[in-house]
A and B are shown apart, each in its own frame.
Chain A
Amino acid sequence: MEFVRNFPCISIMLCLFAGIISSGLRGKTAMWINAALLSVDTVLSAFTLVYTLELGTSFVYVMGRFPAPWGNEIRAGVLESLMALFFCIIMLLSLFGGRHKLVEEVEEGKIYLYYVLTDLLLSSLLALVYTNDMFTAYVFVEINTISACGLIMIRQNGRTIEAAVRYMIMSLLGSGLLLLGLCMLYDLTGHLLMSNMKESVAQIVANGQYTLPLIVSIVLMSVGLCIKSALFPFHAWLPDAYGYSTVSSAAILSSLVSKGYIFLLIKIIYRVIGFDIYHDTRIIDILFLFGLMGMIFGSISAIKENDIRRMIAFSSVAQIGYIYMGFGMGTQAGMVASIFHILSHAATKSLLFIAAIGLTDVSGGSRKFIELTGSGYRSRWAGVAFTVGSLSMVGVPLFSGFISKLLFSQAAVQNHTKMLPALIVLGISTILNAIYFMKTVIRIYTPVGETAYPVMTFRDKPVYAAVLAAFIVLNIILGISSQPVVDMIQQGLAMFS
């Protein structure tokens, strides 16, 4: 089993090579290479997960055989491999679910470029998950941004290009701040590897030196990553980017790209700064506040929206708010809840985007609610899937969203000062979620008489229906047997520190 230690590195390299090879190919080959790559990476991540679970600790893979303070390292533990596995599965499903739209919406002969971009995106996500070096993390953050921008603008119309420009501007502001914070921290510690940085930071804090520069660098990195992951007030670019890009891109962007940045922030909190030091800086109070505001304002914007795709996009703002609220609790339980919510939101939001496209397809391509009336009968698979996703987002038992809400409230009870605001906002936000999601579900199941719109059955799009079924199963698995996943997250967090 020693060979498994090479798997994280191999999976990143495979993505990079697949991207390079696909860029020279035409037609469907790129798609099959991409599908094969995603399956192989899923298997490799699963092996890594099993290996780390058996090993009981994380392991370090030294790149280029240069030892610790100089060389570059990859580090894999339970949490990292769990995330990698999950990212690969969601990406595979999102791509297959949105493939028929991709063929319609992307210029003929340019589809292979889409797969090149997703290969690169996956490589950067995996690298963000596995890397143990801060500067490598920065470089892959930029690769992630560039490929995500490509995913938005591959569907050529004015809206998507404008959305891509706005996305790039916000992302570049974020990565500028991240880089500056990173450079300051490098100057303070003299290291770029996360583990060495953590030792130096602990020493600096123990000696009481450089208190202000340390706080400034932590703030810069946190704010940079918050901007990139679209925490409320920085979410202005999000509805256009998710609402008008092709559906696979929307699913991938909302469920994976923003989560990659959040995972990097978790790594910075645990592996670079140290949880206690981060906690003492009081930045978490600010994250908590903005998380709460995001939960409310994201939902209110979603209620006002008259376009189903933009409504789901605004719901993402609220869900990102939940994740940052969990960070803001400042307890281990809050962190576990946030990480579980990353998984649950990724599984649910991509399901919703993919299901919504099925509903709009049987409504003449219109995304307005008035046209969607009764679409749940015309496309039964999409209707059921959308309902499952909505119930999960609202937090009905049996579905994954319920478990994350449960974990959040348990975490809130443990923290006496923040219990009241967290529980109140959690309650309000659940009601708001229910308002806009149930409104949509009722709308799609309101019977209408004769319509001119076509009816879609399983036979028309078997792959699409199978993807929806897989998403529903994933959601219910996360909802019913959540305990093993929560245990894995706890174990992974223990390995972090």
Chain B
Amino acid sequence: MGANLFTNYGEAVAMILFGIGFGNLLLQPNLIKKIIGLNIMDTAIYLFLAEKGYIAGRAAPIVTNGVQDMEAYINPIPSGLVLTGIVVSVSVSALMLALTIRLYRRYHTLDLDEISKQLKKEGL
């Protein structure tokens, strides 16, 4: 088990990063830190995918010099998934940031718990 962990250190790092991001998104009261956590979490998944798609000693799947042998190239699908994932995570981050701006303009704080307190006072 330990040996596997060492040879697959890329995946192990990805999982640790995922944990850090997940924890930040869940536990940080500060909205900006939450968004940073979200991005760390998503990026960790891309690292994991990229790590899984890469095969040592092979090249990116672009046919050069007429080499069409499958053995010469890495698996292109994870790279495609990463691209799609990046698009999704960019739009989600943009939305979160927009919401954060709205809240900040209204309550002049980035602390979600503080905002909840102010809302209770407003009694809406």
**In this complex, which of A159, A166, A179 has the most chain B Cβ atoms within 10 angstroms of its Cβ?**
A179
Q: How far is the CA of A187 from the CA of B51 in the complex (A)?
A: 11
Contacting B at CB under 8 A, from A119-154, are 135, 138-139, 142, 145-146, 149, 153
Per DSSP, chain A at the interface is helix
In B103-124, the 8 Å CB interface with A consists of 103, 106-107, 112, 115-116, 118-119, 122, 124
Residue contact A165 to B99, C-beta cutoff 8 Å: yes
Do B42 and A162 touch across chains, with their CB atoms under 8 A apart? no
Q: Kindly list chain B residues whose C-beta atoms are within 8 Å of the C-beta of A168.
A: 92, 95-96, 99
Q: Does A158 contact B (CB under 8 A)?
A: yes
* The residue from A158, A172, A173, A183 contacting B122, defined by CB atoms under 8 A apart: A158
Once A169-B25, A179-B85 are accepted as A-B contacts, the answer to whether A161 and B48 lie under 8 Å apart by CB is no
Q: How far is the CB of A139 from chain B (nearest CB, A)?
A: 6
* A173 x B119 contact (CB < 8 A): no
Chain B residue total in the interface (Cβ 8 A): 37
The CA of A145 and the CA of B92, in the complex, are separated in Å by 9
Once bound together, how far apart are the Cα atoms of A176 and B52, in whole Å? 18
| Interface residues of B, dominant DSSP | helix
Instruction: Confirm or deny: A37 has a beta carbon within 8 angstroms of a beta carbon on chain B.
Output: no
- What size tier do the contact residues of chain A reach? 20 to 34
Any chain B CB within 8 A of the CB of A262? no
Docked CA distance A172–B41 (Å): 10
Compute how far the CA of A183 lies from the CA of B124 in the bound complex, rounded to whole angstroms: 42
- Which of B26, B100, B119 touches A158 (beta carbons < 8 Å)? B119
On whether the beta carbons of A153 and B18 are closer than 8 Å, the reply is no
Residues 43-68 of B at the A interface (beta carbon under 8 Å): 45, 48-49, 52
Say yes or no: B99 contacts A173, CB within 8 Å.
no
Q: How far is the CB of B68 from chain A (nearest CB, A)?
A: 17
> Which A residues lie within 8 Å of B100 (CB)?
165
Cross-chain contact B115 with A162 (CB below 8 angstroms):
yes
Contact of A146 with B95 in the complex, beta carbons under 8 Å: yes
If A162-B116, A172-B38, A183-B52 touch, does A149 touch B124 (CB 8 Å cutoff)? no
Q: Does B81 lie at the interface of the complex (its beta carbon under 8 Å from any beta carbon of A)?
A: yes
Within the complex, what minimum Cβ distance (angstroms) separates B76 from chain A? 11
**A187 lies within 8 A of B103 (CB):** no
Interchain CB contact under 8 A, B48 and A180: yes
> Which A residues lie within 8 Å of B18 (CB)?
176, 180
**Does any Cβ of B come within 8 Å of A157's Cβ?**
yes
Complex Cα spacing A187 to B78, Å: 9
Q: Are B85 and A165 in contact (CB under 8 A)?
A: no
Within 8 Å by CB of B99, from A138, A153, A157, A159, lies: A153
Collect the chain B residues with CB atoms within 8 Å of residue A142's CB.
88, 91-92
Q: Which residues of B contact A180 (CB under 8 A)?
A: 18, 45, 48
Q: Does A273 contact B (CB under 8 A)?
A: no
Q: How far is the CA of A177 from the CA of B118 in the complex (A)?
A: 32
Minimal beta-carbon separation of B12 from chain A (angstroms)? 13
The complex places the Cα of A166 from the Cα of B41 at a distance, in Å, of 17
Query: B116 — which chain A residues lie within 8 A by C-beta?
Result: 162
Of the residues A166, A177, A183, A244, contact of B81 by C-beta under 8 Å: A183
Chain B residues contacting A161 (CB-CB under 8 Å) are 99, 102-103, 106
Contacts of B81 in A (CB 8 A): 135, 183, 186
Taking the closest CB of chain B, its distance from the CB of A210, in whole angstroms, is 12
Q: Contact at A183–B84, with CB atoms within 8 Å?
A: no
Do residues B112 and A165 form an inter-chain contact, with CB atoms below 8 A? yes
A176-B106 in contact given A165-B100, A183-B81 (Cβ < 8 Å): no
- Please list the residues of chain B having a beta carbon within 8 angstroms of any beta carbon in chain A: 18, 21-22, 25-26, 31, 34, 38, 41-42, 45, 48-49, 52, 77-78, 81, 84-85, 88, 91-92, 95-96, 99-100, 102-103, 106-107, 112, 115-116, 118-119, 122, 124
26 contacts between A and B (CB under 8 A): A142-B88, A142-B92, A146-B92, A149-B99, A158-B124, A159-B124, A162-B112, A162-B115, A162-B116, A165-B96, A165-B103, A168-B99, A169-B25, A169-B34, A173-B22, A173-B25, A173-B26, A176-B25, A176-B38, A176-B41, A179-B85, A180-B48, A183-B49, A183-B81, A186-B52, A186-B78
Question: 8 closest A-B pairs (Cβ-Cβ)?
Answer: A142-B88, A187-B52, A159-B124, A176-B41, A165-B99, A161-B102, A183-B49, A179-B45
